[in-house]
């Protein structure tokens, strides 16, 4: 059974989100909009009684002091609001608010929903003073990201005459697929090997593809695979594993490469790994001279002395390519990802702060934007919001940051996210920076369910952005689930 709850600010009150959006439309698109009213929409695909719907609408989704709610009918606005845009996620894309809303319904009603009952979140924007064409422009350039969202624009009359309460198709994944394992032949020419790498988004160069080919065509390998009842050539998942493991994102091939440098006088210098030469060796020298470096280069994050009772941990990393295509999703995934490195340092550090450095092209850039890229102003807003929300929803404050503007960041921004954490030096009489995995240990996988987002993230991030960069490569982080995970981790750690 399909039900819809709409929630908005009371008509006699100012809509702060709508007011901010009006200013943004004028600044970014040079379009004057009289007014915008924003409506939160919860589409509930579940068996739920009218009484339960009323309870959920009034007790969970709305605050009667400042908001009104409507069940299974659209909230009525004055006719000066001539057009409405609704924006929602595409099927299979992670919907964190929808998932949280589902959990909230279960808590409010004190009963569980069935596994095949869902809640989907979307947003309606009512515009006064904009044409339908203007609304479409606003939807495409400001409200939605076509990689993960879809939208619909209707006039006041069109919505009134529409029989279906939903503007958008329900983003339910109905496609039934069978698990198919492909065998990928490597009996290919050099050009065909490169084409295979590009087609399957392996991000491997010709030398790497030829190395894989030579391995699988080696008689010893063939004999071994035959004994294991495996096909002669790799399966699709074997090839994907190799591509992920060898990706620039995971392997840092450039940082670890041998680099020959010629200066202006024609003198050659050979650097055997930028990482080993300029980062690790420097730290190793310092470690022999200072006593407070406790753990470096072999855990999820470094650990150093803070006081007589505690260690602190610090980690920073970038999330550039994802943030170029989906600024909010890329940035929120970046910050919660580095949070996990702190949670995984030693026996588990508690995250206490986030920090960041962002590098963008000028927000006032007026030149041509390459295909599939977003205006720097939109990237800035989305990245800032993603890092902010990732921290706020996890209970981790962002204590400082910096923004740098330069035209070279138009093609790909630099989104540098960092997290600091703290841990007692000893937990249950064990040194907190030491840990081991033993034979027979169980591995538990915890987190939000995987959607269509995030597939090929490592290999996609290892190549240059282009018009064919995949729509599914940007994962959408889930800070609320991660907060639950961290609470569980500390309770288990301290037992």
By three-state DSSP, how is residue 414 classified? strand
| β pairing state of 2-9 and 350-360 | unpaired
Listed by start position, the domains of the chain span 2-161, 190-246, 317-493
Among the listed residues 333, 344, 329, 332, the one whose alpha carbon sits nearest the alpha carbon of residue 388: 332
pLDDT of 464 reads 57
**CA-CA distance, 51 to 379, in Å (whole number)?**
43
Quote the pLDDT of residue 472. Answer: 53
Active site members? 249, 319
CB atoms < 10 A from the CB of 304, how many? 16
What CA–CA distances, in Å, run from 149 to 20, 146, 419, 453? Answer: 21, 5, 30, 11
Write out the E strands in 289-397: 293-295, 302-305, 310-318, 350-360
Of 171, 94, 97, the residue nearest 329 (C-alpha): 94
Q: How far apart are CA 48 and CA 105, in angstroms?
A: 10
221: how many CB neighbours lie within 10 A of its CB?
14
Going along 297-413, which residue ranges are E strands? 302-305, 310-318, 350-360, 398-405
Does this chain's domain 2-161 share its CATH topology with 317-493?
no
Render each residue's pLDDT in the chain as its tens digit; 495 residues.
899 999 999 999 999 999 999 999 998 888 999 999 999 999 999 999 999 999 999 999 999 999 999 999 999 999 899 999 999 998 888 898 999 999 999 999 999 999 999 999 999 999 999 999 999 999 998 999 887 899 999 999 999 998 888 999 999 877 667 788 999 999 999 999 999 999 888 889 999 999 999 999 999 999 999 999 999 999 999 999 999 899 887 888 888 899 998 989 999 999 999 999 999 999 999 888 898 999 999 899 999 999 999 999 999 998 888 888 888 888 998 899 999 999 999 999 999 999 999 999 999 998 988 877 889 998 999 999 999 999 999 999 999 999 999 999 998 999 999 999 999 999 999 999 999 999 999 998 887 666 665 566 555 454 555 454 454 556 677 888 899 999 999 999 998
User: CATH number of the domain at 317-493, please?
Assistant: 3.30.1330
Q: Is residue 417 a contact partner of residue 319, using CB atoms and an 8 Å limit?
A: yes
Pairing of strands 35-45, 2-9: antiparallel
Q: Does domain 2-161 have CATH number 3.30.1280.10?
A: yes
Q: For residue 120, which of 100, 106, 144 has the smallest C-alpha distance?
A: 100
pLDDT of residue 457: 54
User: Two tokens at 215?
Assistant: 């391995």
Q: Phi first, then psi: what are they for 403, rounded to 5°?
A: -130, 130
pLDDT, residue 13, reads: 97
HSE-up of residue 289 (Cα within 13 Å, Cβ side): 6
Helix (H) or strand (E) holding 28: helix 16-29
Identify whether the C-beta of residue 353 lies closer than 8 Å to the C-beta of residue 493: no
The Cα–Cα gap between 7 and 162 comes to 20
| C-alpha radius of gyration, the chain, whole number | 26
Q: For residue 37, what is the enclosing H or E element?
A: strand 35-45
């Amino acid at each position: 059974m399909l039900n819809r709850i709409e929630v908005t600010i009371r008509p006699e009150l100012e809509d702060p989100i709508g007011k901010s959006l009006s200013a943004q439309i004028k600044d970014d698109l040079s379009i004057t909009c009289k007014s915008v009213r924003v409506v939160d929409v919860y589409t509930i695909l579940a068996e739920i009684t009218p009484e339960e719907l009323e309870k959920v609408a009034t007790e969970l989704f709305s605050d009667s002091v400042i908001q009104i709610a409507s069940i299974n009918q659209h909230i009525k606005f004055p006719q000066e609001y001539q057009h409405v845009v609704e924006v929602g996620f595409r099927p299979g894309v992670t919907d964190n608010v929808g998932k949280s809303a589902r959990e909230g319904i279960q808590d409010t009603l004190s009963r569980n929903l069935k596994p095949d009952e869902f809640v989907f979140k979307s947003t309606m924007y009512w515009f006064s003073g904009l044409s339908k064409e203007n609304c479409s422009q606003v939807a495409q350039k400001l409200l939605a990201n076509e990689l993960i969202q879809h939208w619909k624009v209707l006039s006041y009359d069109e919505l009134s005459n529409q029989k279906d309460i939903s503007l958008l198709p329900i983003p339910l994944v109905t496609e039934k697929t069978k698990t198919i394992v492909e065998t990928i032949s490597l009996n290919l020419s050099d050009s065909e090997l490169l084409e295979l790498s590009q087609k399957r988004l392996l991000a491997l160069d010709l030398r790497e593809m030829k190395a894989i080919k030579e391995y699988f065509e080696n008689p010893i390998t063939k004999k071994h695979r035959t004994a294991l009842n495996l096909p002669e050539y790799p399966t699709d998942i074997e090839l994907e594993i190799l591509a992920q493991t060898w990706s620039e994102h995971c392997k840092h091939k450039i940082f670890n490469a041998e680099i020959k440098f010629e200066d202006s006088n024609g003198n050659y210098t050979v650097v055997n790994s930028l990482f080993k030469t300029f980062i690790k060796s420097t730290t190793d020298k310092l470690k022999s001279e200072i006593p407070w470096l406790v753990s470096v280069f072999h855990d999820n994050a470094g650990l150093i002395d803070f006081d007589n009772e505690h260690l602190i941990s610090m980690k920073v990393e970038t999330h550039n390519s994802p943030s170029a295509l989906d600024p909010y999703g890329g940035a929120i995934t970046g910050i919660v990802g580095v949070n996990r490195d702190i949670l995984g340092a030693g026996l588990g550090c508690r995250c206490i702060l986030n920090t960041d450095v962002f590098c963008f092209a000028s927000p006032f850039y007026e030149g041509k934007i390459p295909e599939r890229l977003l205006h720097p102003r939109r990237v800035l807003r989305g990245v800032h919001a993603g890092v902010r929300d990732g921290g706020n929803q996890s209970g981790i404050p962002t204590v400082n940051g910096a923004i740098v503007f330069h035209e070279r960041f138009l093609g790909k921004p630099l989104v540098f996210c960092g997290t600091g954490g703290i841990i007692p030096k000893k937990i249950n009489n064990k040194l907190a920076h030491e840990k081991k995995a033993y034979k027979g240990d169980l591995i538990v996988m915890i987190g939000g369910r995987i959607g269509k987002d995030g597939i090929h993230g490592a290999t996609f991030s290892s190549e240059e952005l282009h018009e064919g960069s995949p729509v599914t490569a940007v994962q959408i982080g889930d800070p609320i689930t991660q907060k639950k995970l961290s609470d569980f981790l500390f309770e288990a750690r301290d037992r």
